Structure 1
Amino acid sequence: MVRERLSVVVTRRLPEVVETRMTELFDVELRDDDRPFTREELADAMRRSDVLVPTITDNIDQALLAQAGDKLKLIANFGAGVDHIDVQTARQRGILVSNTPGVLTEDTADMTMALILAVTRRIPEGLAVMQAGTWGGWSPTAFLGGRVGGRRLGILGMGRIGQAVARRARAFGMQIHYHNRRRLHDDIEEELEATYWDSLDQMVSRMDVISVNCPHTPSTFHLMNARRLKLMKPGAVIVNTSRGEVIDENALTRMLRAGELAGAGLDVFQRGVEVNPRLRELSNVVLLPHMGSATREGRAETGEKVIINIKTFADGHRPPDLVLPSMV
């Protein structure tokens, strides 16, 4: 007896190799363009598919899940973060949620280090002058940045990505400090030569660079709020390759404009694509369009994980990357 293939709806364009493999395995509906689904289109897809493959651009909240029919059984997210999915409500409705952890660790850590260097060494300012053709030649006092070696790096969130950032920063001679929900095992701390801070306030006030690498949860929303940002040294820099909601973007903007912080490097923003226009005006801020995980290898490996989760589910087993409400 031939088992009927699962119907799968993918909400965004994926790498060609991933789409090809999905077509071979499932009854899949792919996208012709790459615009995000509207809520109405998303609700329709959830009613007529066994499996939905969304991305971070799809806000699957309680109201949307209420419109899902009995057919939908798995939301196989393309990406590690699931703060855009109401996992609790999904499970209550009998819908499993899976994600793709661990795939983009190295890529995101690379971009974190790139932002630290870009801000502290004023790379975008130099690039802008060269592109404009206004460079007048070398000067002993032009484009003076700061040396990263010897600086204190405070990592907020010491999971896979935070630890990968620490390894890179150590190679540049930075001193590693971190704050985490749970302290790391002694052997990991020793390997990374990392100092644990139980108090985030105390760590923030003593660091030269803060790297935000924690997920967005109700407890981390505006974790770097106006009060905590003001604890940072005026010469300090903050970078964020995690989730924009962790930083109070308006407070950060005010401090940067007032010269109360030396700079910032942001790959994510509190309101998605709606970037605070005042941030764009600042020469000491590096803004990137959520590029932290944007490598061909990373996207392909993410797709492979999605396929494994769906295939395992189709075979009657628990997806290996199942997300439980307690994990969110």
Structure 2
Amino acid sequence: MGKPKVLSLGSPSWAGEAFLQNFNNTCDIHVVQPSDRNGTVQAIADARKSNGPFDAVLILMGNGAYERFDQELLGPLVPELKVVGSVNAGYSEFDLDWFNANKIFVTNTIDAVAEPTADIAIFLMLAALRDTSRLEMEIRNGGWRGGTKAPLLDPNGKTLGIIGMGKIGRHVARKANAFGMDVQYYNRKPLSTEMEENLSAKYCSTIEELLKSSDVISLNCPLTSETRGLIGADEFAMMKDGVILVNTARGAVIDENAFIQALESGKVARAGLDVFDGEPKVNDYFRKSTRCVVQPHMGSWTDVAWRNAYQEAMNNVTSVFTLGKAISPVNSF
């Protein structure tokens, strides 16, 4: 029996030459260059005809132009397809019902993108506290300090509320400690006492408790049916006046209309955003408002993160074929 065949959507070169050589000892890899949705659908179908069948697919960085991952995109690879290894931490873009029905493992990265995503969350928090969007616009337009009278906000002594205490949330907590913040969190279940002590983090048994008592709120939860629209008008009403909100999770975790109203009313003083509902299309309000520090969902786009994410995704693929199970599956069947 020959080696499993892997279809890579984009070049896997970020994994490193030595790593790729080892990977090729286990699997045969075929690369297609994705483009937009229609172009990628066609490229996958053509690859199946000319070089298939394929046992695995690698989803690499820059996949927003052609997602969603579903029957339309990957259907031509069934029934041989066994595993899809993604470099992403999130998996809301995958039609898991379809993958389960076809007994295809979907895997994500757990470690690779966690710390750089936490880094961007801390950056966005500090930028929002210091009102940098407004002040940068002022100086670029020839002004100076923008008429600022009161001092800007310092993280020291502020209460940071983290919603979602997975690996990213835990990195955020650890980094926030360095700024003298009081960390609390809401999660489906509390961390161990030892981990809470190591992170100097206090568990909130309800999201309401966290929302009412946090000066800064960081969203770090995955997008699921339970977390879609998690923060809406009722939740904004519970927050402190002038709260700072940071979102590096997924845009759809927040009700966009309620969010804009909260920003306009001052309930949310400022926001730091790396994700948006409907991205890459972004509501013009967030593009133009100096109340928002914005980034184009690139929290994990660092050289180290890419190398680690590519290796982690590829290790998931080889694990399925050598051990019969994935390292970090997001589905089961």
Please give the TM-score of this superposition, normalised by the length of structure 1: 0.87
2:98 maps to amino acid: T
Match of 1:159 among 166, 173, 187: 166
1:236 paired residue among 227, 236, 243: 243
Report matched runs for 1:134-153 at 5 Å: 134-136=142-144, 141=148, 144-153=151-160
Q: Is the 8 A contact 1:11 1:37 kept in 2?
A: no
For 1:35, the aligned partner's letter is S
Structure 1: runs of 5+ lacking an equivalent: none
What RMSD, in angstroms, separates the aligned Cα atoms of the two structures?
2.7
User: Using the alignment, how far apart are the partners of 1:291 and 1:29 within structure 2?
Assistant: 27
> How has the CA–CA distance of structure 1 residues 311 and 276 changed in structure 2, closer, same or farther, with 3 Å as cutoff?
same
Q: TM-score normalised to the size of structure 2?
A: 0.86
Aligned partner letter, 1:125: R
Distance in 2 (CA, whole Å) between partners of 1:273 and 1:298 is 21
Structure 2 CA distance for partners of 1:311 and 1:143, relative to 1, 3 Å: farther
- Could you tell me how far 1:258 is from its partner in structure 2? 3.0
Matches of 1:319 and 1:206, distance apart in 2: 40
Preserved contact between residue 98 and residue 323 of structure 1 (Cα < 8 Å): yes
Match of 2:315 in 1: 308
The answer to whether structure 1 residue 54 and structure 2 residue 59 are counterparts is yes
Q: What CA distance in whole angstroms lies between the structure 2 residues aligned with 1:90 and 1:167?
A: 36
The one-letter amino acid of 1:90's match is F
Report the counterpart of residue 257 of structure 2 in structure 1.
250
Q: Return the letter of the residue paired with 2:81.
A: L
Judging changes above 3 Å, is the alpha-carbon distance between structure 1 residues 95 and 260 closer, same or farther for their aligned structure 2 residues?
A: same
Q: CA deviation at 1:14?
A: 4.6
Q: 1:267 aligns with which of 258, 274, 288?
A: 274
Greater relative contact order (CA < 8 Å, ≥ 6 in sequence): 2
Q: How do 1:1-328 residues align onto structure 2 when only pairs under 5 Å count? A: 3-18=1-16, 22=20, 25=24, 26-32=27-33, 35-38=35-38, 40-41=41-42, 44=45, 48-55=53-60, 57=64, 58-61=67-70, 68-132=77-141, 134-136=142-144, 141=148, 144-315=151-322, 317-325=324-332
Q: How far 1:48 sits from its partner (Å)?
A: 4.1
Distance across 1 between alignment mates of 2:269 and 2:116:
26
Aligned residue pairs total 321
Q: CA deviation at 1:312?
A: 2.7
Q: Alpha-carbon deviations, 1:152-196, whole Å to 9, x = none?
A: 111001111111111111110111111110011111222222221
Secondary structure at 1:262 match in 2: strand
| Identical amino acids, percent of aligned pairs | 31
**What is the distance in 1 between the residues matched to 2:323 and 2:198?**
41
Gap runs ≥5 in structure 2: none
1:271-325 deviations in whole A, cap 9, x for unaligned?
A: 1211111122211101101121111001001111122222233335323223334
